[in-house]
Amino acid sequence: MSEAVVARASGLGFAYRPGDFAVRNLDLELRRGEVFGLLGRNGAGKTTTVRLLTTLLPPTEGTGELFGRDLRHCGRAERQRIGVVLQSESLDFVTVERNLTLYAFLWSVPREAAKSRAEEMLELFELDHVRHRKPWALSGGERRRFQVARELMHDMELLFLDEPTVGLDALTRKRILAYLARRARAGLSIVFTTHILHEADELCDRIGILQGGRLRATGAPADLKRGYRGSRFVEAEFDRPVTVEEGRDLDAMLARKNPEYTEVARGPTRIEFRAPDAEGLVAELAGWASSRGLKLLRIAVREPTLEEAFVGLVADGAGLEDDGAEAA
């Protein structure tokens, strides 16, 4: 494993019972200083992947490495270099402040350093006003902030965050993401699972999309979006409502020209299509509008959002339509 790679999985899998795989055939490389997002629907295998890579679960197939050492043989030396914010809340039955310093004590952080870091974390995660409360008396958002703050009490090279921003308001989320981005720029590698896709788009250098325990796609957010069914979106707005007859004519014309043009939305004066050949579709729409005496007020080509790419990928794999309905 090169110095640039902090963790690697090759055909990695885990079955809770024989044949019942939660994760299967996972091929993955996590690089130093990168933020890697793991996306997937509920039950896609994100948490199991985190548990495998943090050595909490032993792989039942394939191989994996953490800092160059086989996951099956990893021990304290490797785990000392990682941090893990679990999806489930974990806490000690002491005050918020003492939780932070006690956790630092468990990680052998010197007492003075622990005290000053606790102050920094209490301020950064806006927990100063609840420092003397017990964690279970905090609000949902405060408890989540507390989880992240506590993990950052010790030094690490690779941080696993399993849905760290669940239940956080937008401002707090932005603040935490900005902090994580700063830490990543300083060399910290981060593995990040989330359901909030624009957050992953904003923070992650690369993203892996899990479905049914298998990695369906990996790449930079921009690449995933570009690779979304090889398509882009074309939005057109006309100066007057399109009649039913004109609509039928448009559908027939587009189906003749290219059956891969897929309607995404249609309003009285506005239509949106997904098209592998966006420029071609623009030309067809312009020509058709002119032949029908419709004036085009606006026509635009845009890249798919990460959410559209994600929904498209996952829907393709699960036999679902984009809107989430079961395919007939």
Partner 1 sequence: MKLPPVLRLLARNFESNLDVITLIVMFGQPAFLIVVLGTMFTPIVGNLGTGENYTSFLVPGMIASQMITGAVLAGRIFWLDRRWSMVEQLFSGPFRRYEYLAALLLTTLTFALVGVGIMAVVALPLVGLPLLSPVELLLILGTIGLGAIFFGGLLIAIGSRIRSANLYFTIQSVLQYFLVFVSTVYYPVTSKTPFALRAIVYANPLTYAANTVRDAFTHHFGPGDAVAAGVLGGLSAVTFTLAVLAFRRLDFGPVQ
Helices and strands (DSSP H and E) totals, the chain: 11, 14
Residues in the chain: 328
Q: Does 84 bind partner 1 (CB under 8 A)?
A: yes
In the list 6, 30, 52, 86, the residue contacting partner 1 (rule: CB under 8 A) is 86
In the list 5, 102, 166, 181, the residue contacting partner 1 (rule: CB under 8 A) is 102
Residue of 176, 180, 194, 199 whose CA lies nearest to 126: 176
- Smallest separation (angstroms) from partner 1 to the CB of 175: 24
232-238 and 270-275 as β-strands: parallel, antiparallel, unpaired? antiparallel
In the list 5, 25, 69, 80, the residue contacting partner 1 (rule: CB under 8 A) is 80
Q: Does 119 bind partner 1 (CB under 8 A)?
A: no
Q: Does 132 bind partner 1 (CB under 8 A)?
A: no
Q: Does 105 bind partner 1 (CB under 8 A)?
A: yes
In the list 7, 9, 26, 54, the residue contacting partner 1 (rule: CB under 8 A) is 54
Q: Does 79 bind partner 1 (CB under 8 A)?
A: yes
- What type of residue is 90? S
189-193 and 158-162 as β-strands: parallel, antiparallel, unpaired? parallel
From residue 237 to residue 266, the character string flagging contacts with partner 1 as x (rule: CB under 8 A) and all else as - is ------------------------------
- Smallest separation (angstroms) from partner 1 to the CB of 153: 11
- CB neighbours of 267 closer than 8 A, spacing ≥ 6? none
CA distance 262 to 260: 6
Q: Which residues of 109-135 are buried (b: 16+ CB within 10 A; e: fewer)?
A: beeeebeebbeebbebbbbeebeeeeb
Q: Does 42 bind partner 1 (CB under 8 A)?
A: no
What is the full DSSP assignment across 216-231?
EEEE-HHHHHHTGGG-
Cβ proximity to partner 1: between 81 and 175 the closer is 81
Site of interaction with partner 1 (CB under 8 A): 51, 54-57, 75-76, 79-80, 82, 84, 86, 88-94, 98, 102, 105-108
